[in-house]
Amino acid sequence: MNAEAVRDPSPRQAAADLADGPVGDGGLRIALLTYKGNPYCGGQGVYVRHLSRELARLGHRVEVIGAQPYPVLDEGVTLTELPSLDLYRQPDPFRTPRPGEYRDWVDAVEVATMWTGGFPEPLTFSLRARRHLAARRGEFDVVHDNQTLGYGLLGDLGAPLVTTIHHPITVDRQLDLAAAQGPVRRASVRRWYGFTRMQRRVARRLPSVLTVSGTSRREIVEHLGVRPERVEVVHIGADSRLFSPDPAVPAVPGRIVTTSSADVPLKGLIHLVEALAKTRAEHPDAHLVVVGKRADDGPVAAAIERYGLGGAVEFVKGISDRELADLLRSAQVACVPSLYEGFSLPAAEAMATGTPLVATTGGAIPEVAGPDGETCLAVPPGEAGALATALGRLLGDQELRARLGAAGRERVLARFTWEQAALRTADRYREAVARGAAVRAR
């Protein structure tokens, strides 16, 4: 809730507030870092919002330190803004700042990296965060980095460091390179993902890594070279209080809901569009609502035009969590068509509302969605025909929809809630604090 988030850009005021030390019985003072925090543009923002809220409910004092797009936080969590130059903001992405906007050498690095086709934000945010934490030494018991993995976070930060890696971005790089056509485009993709070399180097030196699934853990070890004993799986999940069944919301016949960015091959939206075209041959009322931004051109836009689906595919963006929950409740089917996911919050949220799910077996999705035919219908990633068959099967079988929807919600309540995630994350914090104290004692 934007209006109730506590914004405090002043480190001095925060220092005064925290001067009395840890809060509550065993409560910790937590600095949660996020270089991108908007919950409407990716899983990292969702993670920061819900984890910080549940940690605060457990009695910890949580301060989120973030850059643009700033996170939306709930009551009881402080936001300290650590602004970048915001080079990718709409409606002017890849902008060149005015001379008066430059503040220091970090800003110059940010612009120079963007000018040469790279993505600077993980590095430059980490450098700003290091400087900020140095000015506030002693105010935090633990620093939690949300996948920045920048050089600035190495060494002494004044408190033990715990890092969440949702999944290695090297996976995104591989998929984007596979989808790139022509040597110029492939060179551009390689340059954009140049920051992954830094993230590999940093990850290998981290003492404590959290990740969200067993699949991500294996890939962090394989892709980033992190020692297995340093990586702990802490499942995340859905806000089961908000994402819950509501019989008062009527299901719309033929409605399929997915969460996806139209221009990201990883999300597999083009395969879902192709599947929709096949499904409508037997279910003419089938239509798709995509939670995400519509791309004006590219493969997805071309597929929508090619199959004549302009009136059967709708994009919505910037909706609230409550609106998203109602949208999922109104769907006869939710779909996760991704080629890969490190976890899949959309799957967990759909299942929590009791909406039956069709999901691929890409990455960690099966860990969330569960067995085929029991809690979901599972299909291989990238296969539009299999997607169409599963969608048609669910749209045509009310009893199957009810059974899978109920079983899906039970699975989420048992395994994937934010309260459980916060409890286990706090345990990892205490381990890090104890380890740091032991090192200092030696």
Cβ–Cβ < 8 Å for 176, 196: no
Question: pLDDT band for position 262 (50/70/90)?
Answer: low
CB neighbours of 150 closer than 8 A, spacing ≥ 6? 35, 122, 123, 124, 125, 126, 127, 129, 198, 199, 202
Cβ–Cβ < 8 Å for 361, 379: yes
35-44, 112-121, 280-289, 380-389: the lowest-pLDDT one:
35-44
What's the pTM? 0.84
Neighbours of 9 (CB within 10 A): 11
Does position 196 have pLDDT exceeding 90, yes or no?
yes
Q: Determine the average pLDDT of the residues in 98-116.
A: 97
Q: Determine the average pLDDT of the residues in 132-157.
A: 97
The CA distance from 246 to 250, in Å, is: 9
Q: Determine the average pLDDT of the residues in 275-302.
A: 94
Predicted local confidence at residue 326, as pLDDT = 97
The CA distance from 383 to 401, in Å, is: 22
Does position 244 have pLDDT exceeding 50, yes or no?
yes
The CA distance from 52 to 58, in Å, is: 10
The torsion angles phi and psi of 295, rounded to 5 degrees, stand at -90, 135
Q: Determine the average pLDDT of the residues in 4-25.
A: 40
The CA distance from 277 to 279, in Å, is: 6
> Helices 169-179 and 214-224 sit at what angle, rounded to 10 degrees?
80
Radius of gyration of the chain (CA): 22
CA distances 237 to 72, 95, 290, 343, Å, are 18, 36, 21, 9
Choice between 40 and 366, residue whose per-residue pLDDT is larger: 366
Sign of the CA dihedral running 295, 297, 299, 304 = positive
Predicted local confidence at residue 18, as pLDDT = 37
Does position 441 have pLDDT exceeding 90, yes or no?
no
- Fill in the amino acid letter for 402: A
Cα of 254 vs its chain's centroid, Å: 28
Question: pLDDT band for position 42 (50/70/90)?
Answer: low
Predicted local confidence at residue 13, as pLDDT = 40
Question: pLDDT band for position 3 (50/70/90)?
Answer: very low
Residue written as tokens 């806000």?
239
CA distances 157 to 111, 130, 432, 441, Å, are 26, 7, 13, 18
Does position 25 have pLDDT exceeding 60, yes or no?
no
Tell me the per-residue pLDDT of 153-187, one tens digit each, with 9 for 90 and over: 999 999 999 999 999 999 889 989 998 999 999 99
The CA distance from 274 to 387, in Å, is: 9
Q: Determine the average pLDDT of the residues in 274-286.
A: 98
2-6, 30-34, 261-265, 330-334: the lowest-pLDDT one:
2-6
Q: Pick from 234, 68, 208, 50: which is nearest to 142 by CA? A: 208
Q: Determine the average pLDDT of the residues in 260-285.
A: 92
User: What token pair was written down for 403?
Assistant: 């059974």
Asked if residue 91 has a cis previous peptide bond (ω within 30° of 0), the answer is: yes
- Fill in the amino acid letter for 344: S
Predicted local confidence at residue 41, as pLDDT = 53
Question: pLDDT band for position 43 (50/70/90)?
Answer: confident
User: What token pair was written down for 330?
Assistant: 């109104």
The CA distance from 217 to 11, in Å, is: 35
The torsion angles phi and psi of 178, rounded to 5 degrees, stand at -65, -30
Predicted local confidence at residue 378, as pLDDT = 98
Does position 102 have pLDDT exceeding 80, yes or no?
yes
Q: Which domains does the chain have, with CATH numbers?
A: 2-237+418-441 (3.40.50.2000), 255-415 (3.40.50.2000)
Q: Average model confidence (pLDDT) for the chain?
A: 91
Question: pLDDT band for position 37 (50/70/90)?
Answer: confident
Q: Determine the average pLDDT of the residues in 28-34.
A: 98
The DSSP code for 304 is H
Q: Pick from 46, 16, 21, 6: which is nearest to 159 by CA? A: 21
Q: Determine the average pLDDT of the residues in 79-98.
A: 94
Does position 40 have pLDDT exceeding 70, yes or no?
no
Q: Determine the average pLDDT of the residues in 406-420.
A: 97
The torsion angles phi and psi of 105, rounded to 5 degrees, stand at -70, -25
As a whole number of Å, the end-to-end CA separation of the chain is 45
Q: Helical H runs in 136-268?
A: 169-179, 183-192, 195-203, 214-224
Q: Determine the average pLDDT of the residues in 75-81.
A: 96
